[in-house]
């Protein structure tokens, strides 16, 4: 059972395309202040931070530096950690997305989603901004360029796994339930009663899925 005095806080993980900026620093200082206050109030604090070490931008930065991407992110992650330690940030865990145990957990979750049929392989196509690492449609572009940073975009197409939202759609379930009730010569009042119950269960399950992430 969860202890009401347990308190978990995680920051956004700092992207390792370069040194941390003022936004990263602002966030870590605020997070640290909250965790220090919670500890003084007697909470069991778990404070986690770390670095995000993937993406085309990192690949390009490593290429410019003449080194492998892993060597590049090793240096940036070490610098991020050095700065947080210099600031005496009281984190409990500094996680890197290239850590072996993190990779294994991602693979475990991915496999479970795949085996359950919750994800499927498809492709995504559009105008891609490498700097922002985002796809845009033609209508979103501003003067043919990225609407966020103003840099040029390039046509791109890549394979990607998508979440199968249709698997959790409520409409097919309601239609099936209605057919069953009608076949049983149920009254309109009873049909609406079961519709309400079914929707309540669906909504509760949806919230649990969103907030608990039980994968």
Nearest-CA neighbor of 53 among 118, 99, 111? 99
pLDDT tens for the chain, 215 residues long, are 578 899 999 999 999 998 899 999 999 999 999 999 999 999 999 999 999 998 888 998 999 999 999 999 999 999 999 999 999 999 999 999 999 999 999 999 999 999 999 999 998 888 999 888 888 888 899 999 999 999 999 998 888 888 887 777 665 666 666 676 666 665 666 656 666 666 666 555 554 444 444 44
pLDDT attached to residue 14: 94
Beta strand 6-10 pairing with 14-15 = unpaired
Q: What count of other Cβ atoms lies within 10 Å of the Cβ of residue 125? A: 12
Whether the model pTM is above 0.85 = no
pLDDT attached to residue 211: 42
Query: Within its chain, how far is the Cα of 6 from the centroid?
Result: 23
Query: Within its chain, how far is the Cα of 141 from the centroid?
Result: 25
pLDDT attached to residue 91: 98
Give the angle 191-197-198 at the CA atoms, nearest 5°: 85
Give the angle 35-38-43 at the CA atoms, nearest 5°: 115
Q: Do 194 and 177 contact (CB within 8 A), yes or no?
A: yes
């Amino acid at each position: 059972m969860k202890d009401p005095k347990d308190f978990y806080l995680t920051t956004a993980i700092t992207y390792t395309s370069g040194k941390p900026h003022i936004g990263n620093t602002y966030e870590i200082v605020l997070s640290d202040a909250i965790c220090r206050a919670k500890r003084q109030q007697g909470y069991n604090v778990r404070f986690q931070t770390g670095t995000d070490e993937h993406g085309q931008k990192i690949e390009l930065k490593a290429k410019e530096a003449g080194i492998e991407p892993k060597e590049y992110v090793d240096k940036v992650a070490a610098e991020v950690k050095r700065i947080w330690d210099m600031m005496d940030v009281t984190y409990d865990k500094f996680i890197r997305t290239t850590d072996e145990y993190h990779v294994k957990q991602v693979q475990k979750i991915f496999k479970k989603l795949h085996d359950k049929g919750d994800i499927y392989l498809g492709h995504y196509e559009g105008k891609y901004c490498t700097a922002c690492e985002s796809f845009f449609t033609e209508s979103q572009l501003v003067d043919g360029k990225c609407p966020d940073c103003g840099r040029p975009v390039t046509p791109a197409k890549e394979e990607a796994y998508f979440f199968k939202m249709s698997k959790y759609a409520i409409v097919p379930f309601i239609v099936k339930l209605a057919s069953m009730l009608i076949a049983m010569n149920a009254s309109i009042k009873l049909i609406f009663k079961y519709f309400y119950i079914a929707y309540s269960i669906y909504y509760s399950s949806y919230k649990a899925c969103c907030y608990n992430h039980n994968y």
